[in-house]
Amino acid sequence: MPYLSRRGILAAMTGAAVGPAAVGSAAVGSTAAQAGAGRRVAAGDLYPSNTALYADPALVEGTDYGRRYRRHARYDDSETTVTQYSVTVVLALHGGGIEPGTSELCHAIAGYHPADLAPVGGQIYDLWTFEGIRSTNNGDLHVTSTHCDDPVALSLCAGAHRAVSLHGCTTTQAGLPAGTAAVLVGGRDTTLKSALLTAYAGVGIVAIDAAGTPALAGTEPSNIVNRTLTGAGAQLELTTPMREAMFTTNTRPRRRYTTTAAFWRFVEATRAALAGA
C-alpha cells in the first residue's frame, strides 16, 4: 500500500483543500526577551528560546514544566576493529499538556513503556522531552523547534546520526478535513522519511509527505531535529484526531496508562522504520 500524498487525501475525502490556519503573535516579557539574546520570537510563542523560558522567574521547573532525558552508554574498546557508531535520539519538544500525546509517544518509540518507563523489548534509543505540566495554559510554554536551545537536547542531537521528533498539529494546520487522523512526515532525512512513510502505509496509517505543507515540513537546518551529525532528521506531525485515538483517557495524568492499539501500531511502525532505515 503506497503512502498517500496530501492532494490524494483531500481529493478522496472532500475534493477540495482546506487552507492553513492563521497564527497569531503574542508579546514577550522583558526577562524572556533579554534571555533570548536578540532572537526574534516565533509567531504564537511567548518565548524566543528555551533559555529565555528557563530564565523567566515566573516559571518553576517541576511545577510549570519538566524535562526528562535518557542517554545510553556506548563503547568501542578495540584498537584493531572499527565499530559503527550508530545513534538515534527521539524528541518531544512540546510534550505534556502542550501537544498532548507526544511525550508518551517519545518514550515508547525510544523503547520504554510510558506508564512506568520499563523497557518494551528491542532496541532502546536516547530521548529528550520538554513537558508542560500545568493544569491549564500549557500552550504558553511552546518554543518553536528552530529556537530550541536546551543544552541537553542540543548535545543529544549533536552526537546522533538520526533524530525523530514528535509533534501535534490540528487538521486545519495540516490543511486536512476535520476529523482526519493522519501523520505528516517531514525533516531533511529523506531516507528515514521514506522508510517511515512506507512503514505507516503498510499498517494502514494515513501518512503524508509534509513537503507539501511548508509550515510543517521541518526542513530548516536550524530545526533541532536536523542538528545531527548528518544535518538531517525526521519530524512527525500527528493530527489531533490521530492522537486522541491513541488513549482511552486523554488527560495528562492518565494518558500514559490508557494507551490503545492505535498508539502501539504507530509506535511499532516507527520503530520498524528506524530499525530498517
* Residue 85, pLDDT score: 62
* Residue 44, pLDDT score: 87
Highest mean pLDDT among 25-29, 81-85, 264-268: 264-268
Tell me which of 78 and 152 has the higher pLDDT: 152
Query: What's the distance, CA 217 to chain centroid?
Result: 12
- Taking only the tens place, the pLDDT of each residue in 207-263 is 999 999 999 999 999 999 999 999 999 999 999 999 999 999 999 999 999 999 999
* Residue 205, pLDDT score: 98
Tell me which of 8 and 185 has the higher pLDDT: 185
Mean pLDDT taken over the chain = 88
Query: What is the average per-residue pLDDT within 126-153?
Result: 97
Can you tell me whether residue 152 is helix, strand or coil?
Answer: helix
Distance CA 52, CA 43 (A): 16
- pLDDT band of 74, cuts 50, 70, 90: confident
* Residue 29, pLDDT score: 40
- The domains located in the chain, with CATH, are 6-73+85-276 (3.40.630.100)
Distance CA 15, CA 8 (A): 9
Share of the chain above pLDDT 90, in %: 78
How far is the CA of 221 from the CAs of 114, 161, 211, 227, 232, in angstroms? 30, 15, 15, 7, 8
Look up residue 249 and give its amino acid.
Answer: T
Query: What is the average per-residue pLDDT within 165-192?
Result: 98
Owner of C-alpha cell 490540528: 170
Can you tell me whether residue 92 is helix, strand or coil?
Answer: strand
Owner of C-alpha cell 530550541: 148
* Residue 262, pLDDT score: 98
- Taking only the tens place, the pLDDT of each residue in 10-39 is 444 443 333 333 323 333 343 443 444 456
Residue of 275, 180, 193, 267 lying closest to 234 (CA atoms): 193
* Residue 13, pLDDT score: 44
* Residue 235, pLDDT score: 98
Distance CA 163, CA 154 (A): 11
What is the C-alpha radius of gyration for the chain, rounded to an integer number of angstroms?
18
